[in-house]
Amino acid sequence: MLVIRLQRTGRRNLPAYRVVVAEKARAVKKKFIESVGHYLPTQNPKVLEVNLERVQHWISQGAKPSETVASLCKSLGAKDMEKYMSKGKRQLKKKKEDQES
């Protein structure tokens, strides 16, 4: 199964991430199929560059983005990323309490 996830690069205390397509069973820092972008959270402002066309291509081929990648792509304007993100614990707890009342 293919997954679109972040691969940490950079040095200690200065993380940088690649957005990669890889086999789910493969180790995170090992071989990947394609790099579709990068994310630099320590820079001000944060740098996020993702090729959304390639992400949509890989999703159509059966790849699933991680929750983090889905939320980052959603912030760039990608559509239909909500189904790959789980709701927060607070939202689920509040919804459960509302149903009980």
Domains and CATH numbers, the chain: 2-100 (3.30.1320.10)
At residue 95, the pLDDT reads 65
Across 8-17, 43-52, 68-77, 85-94, least confident range: 85-94
C-alpha dihedral, 78 to 80 to 83 to 88, nearest 10°: 50
At residue 90, the pLDDT reads 62
Phi-psi region of 37 (alpha: psi -120 to 50; beta: other; left: phi over 0): left
What does the pLDDT look like over 3-57, one tens digit per residue? 999 999 999 999 999 999 999 888 888 889 999 999 999 999 999 999 999 999 9
- Report whether pLDDT(83) > 90: no
**6 near 69, Cβ under 8 Å?**
yes
Span 62-89, average pLDDT:
86
